[in-house]
Structure 1
Amino acid sequence: MSANPIQAPGETFFLNLRFLLILCVFVGNAIEPLITRLDSMHSLYMWIFTFHMPLFVFVTGYFAKHNLTGEAGRKILLQISFQYIIFQTLYSLMDVTVFQVKNIHHSFFAPYLLIWFLASHIGWRLLLLMMHKCSAVQQLAISITLGVLVGYLQMDGTWLSISRTFVFLPFFIAGYHFSFEKLEQMLTIKARRFALSISLLLFAVILLSGADIAPGWLYGNMTYGQLDHHEWYAGIYRLCLYLLQIIAGAAFLSIVPQGASLLTEYGRRTLYVFLLHGFIIRFAAVSPLYQYIQNDWTALIVVIGAIVLTMMLSQTVVRKWTSPVIEPSVQWALAMQRRAFGYIGATGKH
């Protein structure tokens, strides 16, 4: 059991949601090598990507309510920075030594695969702090505008995860200001059934129509030019995508349980799944595993395997053995910071 007590129904709901989302992350990454061969896996992948990244950012914003400012905020920013440095280094070293991947440019300015989320998380927090004098509505309006405008930049959108930082910023701000009490009032049985039907309908439409949105739109990591859209009105496409993501995300909420359960405890350790599952995905990608996946039934084994591994990585024993790397202590850095500011303050008085 986690040492952190459950504080409120809202926290319980969002912890359950966070675990279901990390489950989607693992499944989505696990089936990615199959999406060009199996229509079912392509449809599942597309369905997952219509909501899981925006919702994950939304949940992250929700949990930032209590640690955005003050020493708690500084501690989180330091910890995320250390996580970024550690795992950017580890994944790059694995590519060079174990996987021997060719023609990949490794740089701390170009986040490696899933590490983009850490770089963007720092950006979301800093941007929200910069907008603290604005109202929630103004912050959302500004963030949506920035999310649309960033696509027009004539640069590589992956640099410092700048594209994803601004594209998903509205979801972080929405989560930060979100009131669970209002959602709870709306989550009636009828509303849940309706939302679930919308989610299933969306999957059916993707499956039957063969809908294929360019991954760069869903990932949010490419500019309009990189997506081969040089029209002056390309930003309208992003606004339409925002609408799709909001509908898909809201519909997914219908399956999230509100009560405390094992999911809630697993939801406290999603960071471990997030940072560690990439190693499993990389090993699977270079193994002969996917050569044996030739139909939907064998692909189902991959999905089930991803679910089982997500649960395994959520165990307390994983946290026990990996916490020094995943949640490195930053007290020494905070102490140095306090001494430095204390020294500057004392010097300024003379």
Structure 2
Amino acid sequence: MLTDSRAARPAPAAAAGPATARDPFFDRARLLATVLVVCGHFWEPLARMPGHRMLHAAYLLVYAFHMPVFVFLSGWFSRSFAARPEQLDRLLGGVLAPYLLWTTLLGWYSARLAGAPFAPDLITPVWVTWFLLSLFLWRLSAPLWHRLRAPLATAVAVSLLAGALPLTPQLSIGRTLQLLPFFVAGLVLDRRRVLALRGHRWLRAAAAPVFGAAALLAYWLVPRLDAAWFYRSAGAAGLHAGLPRWLVLSAAVNLAGAVLGACFLALVPVRARWYDGLGATGTAAFLLHPFAQLALVRAGGYRTAFLGSAAGQAVLTAAACALALLLSTRPVARLLRPLLAPRLRLLLRARQPSPAPAPAPTMIPGNCRPPGPDDDGRSGGRNTGG
């Protein structure tokens, strides 16, 4: 899912700092975002029912920022992607192949539970698998964003202009375009500024009142705003809004995602925690939990009086958190490795070893050029360095 493309960055980006190494802080953030994803999905059937306004408000609040955070982290873990052969191999085996496998599995499972015939459709993502397809497209485009003068402004413009298009579920185009600014932000923002979010004192202090105000706003919005605005899959026509209204609300949703996402990252623990390491194996939790949620829906669990109560919703939330953590453990990841990162040796060409680089010429510090036949030990010609 959020695979890390660690390799040498392109030359133009070298001045921004060293290549991104795995930082437990970002794995921690990824795990906590995964927990929010699982909770949101288990809340959704109840949130759509009348009489659960508080839960619906919590659902809107989580959806305002949890996917922007996920997509931002995807950009962060893609900073080193330069479309090198070994990186493309990992992209195919770690993102595209799992998309094809899990779209098929989840589509078959959904059809079986519904008693409907299964018709494979690999260009239309099934529920959570949209993220894998979007990640594949985002990461392929990463070298392009490094080449642009104003990549983030361009991505924001693309996101907003997407509302004028007749967006359909095919190829996850709607989400790919509308969530693009968060991927590009993770990809190109100054590394030191991003790292400064970790435990930032003032931002951390502001996070609680910001989330409190956002929760009140979400409660107010429950009967007034369709949650589909936060899914980022439909354009103006799909949300039955005029383009001017769509632009205003879409910009507001983007801004909310950025502000709440920054506050979320500021609240992620900086020091080591007992759950460190689980974030690096969270793909299984992301892809497996829909099977449990769909089974609960099919069993009629959401129609019980218990889940309709505050105590039942607290138990449901605790169970969703526990499930997310359990599915993020290394034994689960090892067991499912053939489905999470299948080996494609039979499909991919064997890579040729890279030739050894030519030795660099000896440079004279004064003028940064190799000695010529007319030099007598003194630096001749125009001094261009030092």
Q: What is the TM-score of this pair, normalised by structure 2? A: 0.79
Pair 1:241 & 2:253 matched = yes
- Separation in 1 of the partners of 2:179 and 2:29? 18
| Pair 1:181–1:154, CA change in 2 (3 A) | closer
Question: For structure 1, which segment, 211-220 or 12-21, has the greater mean C-alpha deviation from structure 2 after superposition?
Answer: 211-220
| Pair 1:319–1:334, CA change in 2 (3 A) | same
Q: Report what 1:88 is aligned to.
A: 103
1:261 Cα deviation after fit: 2.5
Alignment of 1:146-165 (within 5 A): 146-156=158-168, 158-165=169-176
Does the 8 Å contact 1:151/1:223 carry over to 2?
yes
Q: Which runs of 5+ in 2 are unaligned?
A: 5-18, 353-386
| Pair 1:105–1:248, CA change in 2 (3 A) | farther
1:168 Cα deviation after fit: 0.7
- Separation in 2 of the partners of 1:335 and 1:218? 41
| Pair 1:182–1:224, CA change in 2 (3 A) | same
Does the 8 Å contact 2:24/2:277 carry over to 1?
no
| Pair 1:289–1:149, CA change in 2 (3 A) | same
| Pair 1:212–1:245, CA change in 2 (3 A) | farther
The 3-state SS of whatever aligns with 1:234 is: helix
Pair 1:171 & 2:182 matched = yes
The 3-state SS of whatever aligns with 2:102 is: helix
The correspondence for 2:148, drawn from 117, 121, 134, is 134
Deviations 1:135-174 (A, max 9, x none): 3xx1111111111111111342x12110100101110110
Count of aligned residue pairs for this structure pair? 329
- Separation in 1 of the partners of 2:298 and 2:85? 43
The 3-state SS of whatever aligns with 1:334 is: coil
Identity percentage over the alignment? 24
Deviations 1:277-310 (A, max 9, x none): 1111111111121122121111111100001111
- Separation in 2 of the partners of 1:32 and 1:173? 29
The correspondence for 1:297, drawn from 311, 332, 336, is 311
Alignment of 1:198-237 (within 5 A): 198-207=210-219, 210=222, 212-232=224-244, 234-237=246-249
Q: Report what 2:342 is aligned to.
A: 328
Q: Which has the higher helix share?
A: 1
Pair 1:269 & 2:281 matched = yes
1:211 Cα deviation after fit: 6.0
- Separation in 1 of the partners of 2:56 and 2:97? 35
Q: Which runs of 5+ in 1 are unaligned?
A: 340-350
Matched residue type, 2:111: V
Pair 1:97 & 2:123 matched = no
- Separation in 2 of the partners of 1:232 and 1:202? 24
Does the 8 Å contact 2:75/2:186 carry over to 1?
yes
- Separation in 2 of the partners of 1:83 and 1:56? 18
Q: Report what 1:347 is aligned to.
A: none
Q: Report what 2:366 is aligned to.
A: none
Q: Report what 1:58 is aligned to.
A: 72
Larger RCO of the pair (alpha carbons < 8 Å, separation 6+): 1
Deviations 1:8-64 (A, max 9, x none): 897221111100000000000001011123112101100100100111000011011
Does the 8 Å contact 1:111/1:161 carry over to 2?
yes
